[in-house]
């Protein structure tokens, strides 16, 4: 490190990870009790400070990996949060990222190890500092992206029913969609493939299982749902 800028005040820089999952027809977020002061014991997102040898994206990737053990996860930056009094400990600016994972891919051992749990997005408690605001902004970004990019398939299992897909769109956007019109649009998309497999858990008759074909999508990316 050099001795430049020594006359200026130093500010801490951190990242916070908003990890979304979809389970039991609910949109969920991963939170836990804060294990450090200030705010020890308060509900919080999982985050950490940016190291001297890291970019913001690298710090977010590391933080996400520490919590989930996963690589190559869909993750996007939400924005910077820098209110002067946002952290009672020090002057801290945090850059939030949101990630989308399949909850079934997340080890229960890691849940216990890190003391985190999946909580319904609509039933969140008051979180530490401005973490509730981070989540609200992340959801707005998801609502924009889900209409123009196939990010929903990051949250679904490899095989899914159209009911699951529809319900996911509804919980992300916070409103119901017309079943007939929704399925008509889905069936017009070549990259959402119907398989010969049947899900017999969802109904007595069973429901057809579908899958997302990324190769076909990459050839025809005019996605709008």
d(CA 103, CA 97): 18
pLDDT at position 2 = 66
Closest among 219, 123, 125 to 171, alpha carbons compared: 123
pLDDT at position 22 = 96
Coil, strand, or helix at residue 195?
strand
pLDDT digits (tens, 9 = 90+) for 82-91: 999 999 999 9
pLDDT digits (tens, 9 = 90+) for 7-19: 888 899 999 999 9
Coil, strand, or helix at residue 148?
coil
pLDDT at position 201 = 77
pLDDT at position 108 = 84
Coil, strand, or helix at residue 99?
strand
pLDDT at position 221 = 63
pLDDT band, very low/low/confident/very high, at 219 (cuts 50, 70, 90) = confident
d(CA 223, CA 225): 7
**Residue 202 in this model has a pLDDT that exceeds 80:** no
DSSP letter, residue 7: T
pLDDT band, very low/low/confident/very high, at 218 (cuts 50, 70, 90) = confident
Q: Please, is 186 exposed, middle or buried when counting C-beta atoms within 10 Å of its C-beta (0-12, 13-18, 19+)?
A: middle
In contact, 138 and 78? CB cutoff 8 Å: yes
Distances (CA, A) of 45 to 7, 136, 181: 33, 13, 37
Average pLDDT for the chain: 92
**DSSP-assigned beta bridge partners for residue 47:** 16
Coil, strand, or helix at residue 21?
strand
């Amino acid at each position: 490190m050099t001795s430049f800028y020594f006359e200026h005040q130093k500010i801490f820089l951190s990242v916070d990870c908003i990890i979304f999952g979809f389970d039991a027809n609910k949109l969920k977020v991963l939170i836990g009790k804060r294990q450090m002061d200030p705010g020890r014991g308060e509900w919080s997102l999982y985050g950490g400070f940016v190291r001297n040898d890291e970019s913001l994206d690298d710090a977010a990737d590391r933080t996400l990996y520490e919590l989930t053990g996963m690589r190559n996860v869909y993750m996007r930056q939400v924005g910077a949060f820098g209110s002067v009094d946002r952290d009672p400990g020090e002057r801290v600016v945090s850059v939030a990222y949101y990630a989308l994972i399949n909850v079934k891919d997340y080890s229960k051992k890691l849940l216990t190890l890190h003391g985190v749990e999946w909580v319904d997005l609509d039933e969140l408690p008051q979180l530490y500092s401005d973490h509730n605001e981070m989540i609200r902004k992340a959801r707005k970004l998801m609502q924009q992206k889900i209409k123009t990019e196939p990010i929903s398939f990051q949250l679904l299992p490899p095989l899914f029913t159209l009911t699951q897909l529809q319900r996911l769109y509804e919980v992300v956007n916070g409103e119901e969609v017309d079943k007939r019109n929704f399925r008509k649009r889905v069936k017009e998309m070549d990259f959402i493939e119907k398989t010969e497999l049947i899900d017999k858990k969802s109904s007595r008759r069973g429901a057809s299982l579908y899958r997302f074909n990324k190769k076909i999508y990459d050839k025809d990316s005019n996605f709008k749902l």
